Chain A
């Protein structure tokens, strides 16, 4: 009955019309994902977070991150489930999920590259590095490779400006990038 039941990720074999719209939005086809069911482990982790705050709502960002850590992104059904668990409307959880750039509401590749495009990296060669990544992976910013191995996203200043250009690949901060080092660097991430 929740608002979450209208998009393809939560309904196996959902209507082709909806699927088409999602394709259009993503600019590429979404990989099939099984329906989301919150695991006991996720539930326990979220419930543990509630103790950190004087109001349950504060755990909404932690909860989204817990789900994402497990699934790679946050499916619709998880939005509703988190709302239920911490006692706030699903719409509020969605409002939070869509505000923050580190919460993904669409599937991403196995490895997420976040490349800093802020001023210090711009001055030290961001454009060339981004072009090298795009050329090597054949994707632009915001896209995922066909084999689902990499997603490329822009990110603001990563706080390692003295070592620019800088990017993060998953949890690793990679520094002093140059177009020449990109292929060998990316090879480390399967």
Chain B
């Protein structure tokens, strides 16, 4: 049974609720660090990258960029000698997302092993886990795992006699959602304000301290050792034919559902199965009104979309994004103007302030929604919000923060326009001067 779980649910096979995480000895006994030995002794770095490419592992941080392709962008040692870095983006802060916390708190050796394999693939000289400061338990468990891995010779100089050396260090952040944007994360890691950088150059060419750098999400990385152990074909097959993407995915539900939580399922599982089977549906007396597929920065979908497969391409075709894959369900007691006001409050506060459209546009959006929520919306407010979704569309602001903020807004206006219209004061011609004031 245990072996079976490891083969069908590689990410969570070692995780038992209420049990302390496996230490190095226990983790190794469960098959851990086999991939490090296999990669370093039997495979060239390029072979590891190829295996991950062939497995079609797509970035689990939300963007879905193929992990192996990202590694492949790093220039060769001949072209770019010297330092190069692997950075794990463990700055989990997308509202509604609680998956990386589980992996790091409950199976820290899994991420450590993954980073050794990934670091070998890109021949990193140093690796960092950029961990959000609030994840105190994760920091403790990861540091303990790293200390054990160092002592066992899996990290440090000349790892397993391969001639390749890499340090791994946990860097804990000091807040701010924008640190999850990979170039802002790099600035933060350099000890600067977390303003995003212009792209190109992409981090793979010039990242941390101007050197080639790969930034990968926790969940993406934790698949890597299993691909090395079991092969790309096995990984692709984990989807049970539900998707073109490979692997399993950590899906979750938050909001007012019966059994909120997190489940490892084949990628491409339908939203309906996640909500109705795994979470047991909405709480008694409540109906599903809308859902965010994967975080605050994804477009709302409706109950009509529940039969869609939760993978990157399918959700994109429906006009949203899978994002982090953790659903937030909105029940029928909620007013969408208030729900979107809460979301825009978050985005306005978390704007780094670097570019004007985002710094000024988001508070404007938020304040308009506050007025509407009070029933003080004015004629033209909805059109202004729509204009905002165009002014803050991808490519207009400096990074993806403000475009992300516009996704729930534009979809709420599309599906629930009546609720926004109901907030606009009915102003006749005799009081029109008030509207102009």
**Complex alpha-carbon distance, A64 and B177, angstroms:** 19
Contact (Cβ within 8 A) A120 B192: no
Q: Does B41 contact A (CB under 8 A)?
A: no
Q: Does A171 contact B (CB under 8 A)?
A: yes
Contact (Cβ within 8 A) A162 B191: no
**Complex alpha-carbon distance, A61 and B329, angstroms:** 36
Contact (Cβ within 8 A) B101 A162: no
Q: Which of B51-72 contact A (CB under 8 A)?
A: none
Q: Which of A59-105 contact B (CB under 8 A)?
A: 59-62, 64-65, 88, 92, 95-96, 99-103
Q: Which of B83, B134, B191 contacts A155 (CB 8 A)?
A: B134
B: contact size bracket: 35 or more
A168-179 vs B: 1/0 string, CB under 8 Å? Answer: 100101000000
23 interchain pairs, CB-CB under 8 A? A52-B169, A52-B171, A57-B190, A61-B174, A62-B171, A64-B174, A65-B133, A88-B191, A95-B192, A96-B191, A99-B193, A100-B173, A100-B175, A102-B134, A119-B328, A119-B342, A123-B254, A154-B349, A159-B92, A161-B328, A162-B261, A171-B136, A173-B134
Contact (Cβ within 8 A) A159 B83: no
Q: Does A107 contact B (CB under 8 A)?
A: no
Q: Does B296 contact A (CB under 8 A)?
A: yes
Chain B residues closer than 8 Å to A99, beta-carbon distance:
176, 193-194, 352
Q: Does B339 contact A (CB under 8 A)?
A: yes
Q: Does B252 contact A (CB under 8 A)?
A: yes
Q: Does A180 contact B (CB under 8 A)?
A: no
Chain B residues closer than 8 Å to A101, beta-carbon distance:
174-176
Chain A residues closer than 8 Å to B96, beta-carbon distance:
118-120, 157, 161
Contact (Cβ within 8 A) A60 B191: yes
Chain B residues closer than 8 Å to A65, beta-carbon distance:
133, 172, 174
Q: Which of B289-344 contact A (CB under 8 A)?
A: 292, 296, 326, 328-331, 334, 339, 342-343
Chain B residues closer than 8 Å to A58, beta-carbon distance:
189-191
Report which residue of A96, A101, A118 has the largest number of chain B beta carbons within 10 angstroms of its beta carbon.
Answer: A118
Contact (Cβ within 8 A) A156 B174: no
Contact (Cβ within 8 A) A159 B292: no
Contact (Cβ within 8 A) B193 A157: no
Contact (Cβ within 8 A) A160 B101: yes
Chain B residues closer than 8 Å to A168, beta-carbon distance:
134
Q: Is the interface of B mostly helix, strand, loop or mixed?
A: mixed
**Complex alpha-carbon distance, A91 and B299, angstroms:** 40
Q: Does A163 contact B (CB under 8 A)?
A: yes
Contacts known (A52-B169, A120-B254, A123-B256); A156 close to B349, Cβ less than 8 A: yes
**Complex alpha-carbon distance, A165 and B421, angstroms:** 30
Contact (Cβ within 8 A) B190 A55: yes
Which A positions have Cβ atoms within 8 angstroms of B? 52-55, 57-62, 64-65, 88, 92, 95-96, 99-103, 114, 117-120, 122-124, 154-164, 168, 171, 173
Q: Does B398 contact A (CB under 8 A)?
A: no
Contacts known (A58-B191, A101-B175); A156 close to B350, Cβ less than 8 A: yes
Contact (Cβ within 8 A) A54 B209: yes
Kindly list the 5 A-B residue pairs having the minimum CB-CB distance in the complex, ordered from nearest.
A161-B254, A100-B174, A118-B95, A162-B260, A120-B254
Q: Does B253 contact A (CB under 8 A)?
A: yes
Chain B residues closer than 8 Å to A160, beta-carbon distance:
98, 101
The residue in chain B whose Cβ has the minimal distance to the Cβ of A163 is B260
Q: Does B135 contact A (CB under 8 A)?
A: yes
Chain B residues closer than 8 Å to A164, beta-carbon distance:
254
**Complex alpha-carbon distance, A168 and B94, angstroms:** 17
Contact (Cβ within 8 A) A96 B134: no
Q: Smallest CB–CB gap between B299 and chain A, Å?
A: 14
Q: Smallest CB–CB gap between B129 and chain A, Å?
A: 12
Q: Which of B209-260 contact A (CB under 8 A)?
A: 209, 252-256, 260
Q: Smallest CB–CB gap between A81 and chain B, Å?
A: 16
Report which residue of A62, A100, A123 has the largest number of chain B beta carbons within 10 angstroms of its beta carbon.
Answer: A123
